Structure 1
Amino acid sequence: MEKTIEKEIQLLFDICLTAGRIMMENGSEVYRTEDTMNRIAANAGHPDSVTHVTVTGIFIGLRSMPYTQLENVTERRMNLEKVAAVNHLSRQYEQQELSLLELHQKLKKVDVETPSFPIPLQIFSAGIVSCTLMYIFSLSMQDFAAAFFVGMLGFTVSYLIKKYLKMKFMDDFVASVVIGLSAYLLVSLQLASNIDNIIIGSVMPLVPGVAITNAFRDILAGHLISGMARVTEALFVAGSIGIGIAMVFILFL
């Protein structure tokens, strides 16, 4: 009997920790992750669950039993498709459309099979984000086209470095240097007119806007440790971008 209970609790913990890890690795707020984990545990017959979520680790335990487990959060990226998928599965389980074992299997599938947007589409979208700011700063078609291509180039460099070198913050630094050099060359060759506008537009796909927003939402929700950790990480990213651009200005302007 005790072994059966232990197996059920272990399965529940695996499900909650898997759901929490997927959400935290892909850009969810702390309070949303804790709420999802507690709802899964409550619907499994354990409303006395206790969860503690940070950006680097997830804890879950039961007040009525001496069981506690920890899951490491080793990656941080933005894929809100996975966050939405986990939320959807937890609601399906709440409505008894899924069993606990089926929920576990579907969460594992979400973790490895959830599709993301194709890389060419992401690169093209980065160009669109970059060039649309030219409507605010300048109506020059030269700057519009330059920001489009420089934004795509910067995003591509960032993606390749992140994929192959896997050095944190180095992708943003190198991408910003490439953006600054490209903008400088285009203006020098008189293919564009305003280097500042092109750089401002082209770095927009690299700016950690969602991370900063989630950081302040966590702080306002009372999760000070996670909020400050995310703010610090976002500041490092912003600093990497700024230093890369500054180097180009110091060396060439």
Structure 2
Amino acid sequence: MDLISKEKTYEIIEICLLAGKIMLKNGAETYRVEDTMTRIATAYGAEYSDSFVTPTGIIFSVEGTEPTKTKLIRIIERTTNLEKVVKVNDISRKISAGGLTIAQAYYLLNEIENEPKTYSDFMQVMAAAIASGCFLIMFQGVWGDFLPAVAAGGIGFLCSVYFHRLVPIKFFAEFLAAFLIGLIAFAAVRFGVGAEVDKIIIGSVMPLVPGLLITNAVRDLMAGHLVSGISKGAEAFLTAFAIGSGIAVLFVLL
């Protein structure tokens, strides 16, 4: 095995971890993160590298100097921004093709990490509101419930974002958001604005459902990443449980 310098080894580790962190934080699957990191390391001359990725951390090592260099980073916050994942994949392809130096790639990855959110909170709330009304119709609800579902879905999503900023525990934010959605749905039917409380609730909670998380959990399990697949599945289950609990508590109280 050709040895590479200590300085270049550290540079390779840093750029691989940065690429992996961006992808993992923004909704990429575990196996995709590991594959991207390995390809980048190989392109820069580190033929033998190992990575271990979980939803909360990345361990990456490169065999190029003695002793083998290893580094760990923690992933605290996770969101969904597949545009950043696509951009990192594009940079990875350019690196594999020999089109970017380590310094150039590191600069571009830093730009991606520091990019502001693609959509503002207002746009996300509006999208959640419209999606809630569309889900209501898809689940064979009546058009008279469209506006109540739009209001409940938008307000519920807004409260989920706001509560999560106040208390950084997703379970409580999603529980309170679901409770509020149910309360709005019951109020709409009670005052004659809505007709079917169940359809309004079902349509309005759909923007809170962790669809991408469930998909990634299944794909990771199929790819053999059992730890990541099970942990993502557990996180999706907790989200579903929080939504269900919020609605159930409201039914009990009312």
TM score, norm. by length of structure 2: 0.94
8 Å contact from structure 2 (residues 57, 74) kept in 1: yes
Letter in 2 for 1:59: I
Whole-angstrom CA distance in 1 between matches of 2:139 and 2:194: 13
Query: Does residue 208 of the first structure (1) align with residue 210 of the second (2)?
Result: yes
Aligned residue in 2 for 1:16: 16
Whole-angstrom CA distance in 2 between matches of 1:114 and 1:93: 24
SS at match of 2:71: strand
Worse overlay, 185-194 or 114-123? 114-123
TM score, norm. by length of structure 1: 0.94
Structure 1 vs Structure 2 CA RMSD:
1.4
Deviation at 1:64, TM superposition (A): 4.9
Aligned residue in 2 for 1:51: 51
8 Å contact from structure 2 (residues 171, 242) kept in 1: yes
Q: Which string of whole-angstrom CA distances, capped at 9 and with x for unpartnered residues, describes residues 151-177 of structure 1?
A: 101011011112233223111011001
Q: Percent identity?
A: 39
In structure 1, which of residues 86, 89, 111 is the aligned counterpart of residue 88 of structure 2? 86
Aligned residue in 1 for 2:164: 162
Query: Does residue 6 of the first structure (1) align with residue 3 of the second (2)?
Result: no
Deviation at 1:124, TM superposition (A): 1.1
In structure 2, which of residues 245, 250, 253 is the aligned counterpart of residue 251 of structure 1? 253
Whole-angstrom CA distance in 2 between matches of 1:114 and 1:107: 14
Whole-angstrom CA distance in 1 between matches of 2:84 and 2:184: 35
Aligned residue in 2 for 1:129: 131
8 Å contact from structure 2 (residues 9, 62) kept in 1: no
Aligned residue in 2 for 1:62: 62
Worse overlay, 70-79 or 234-243? 70-79
Query: Does residue 228 of the first structure (1) align with residue 222 of the second (2)?
Result: no
Query: Does residue 146 of the first structure (1) align with residue 161 of the second (2)?
Result: no
Q: List gaps (5 residues or longer) in structure 1.
A: none
8 Å contact from structure 1 (residues 27, 80) kept in 2: yes
Deviation at 1:114, TM superposition (A): 4.7
8 Å contact from structure 2 (residues 136, 202) kept in 1: no
Letter in 1 for 2:206: M
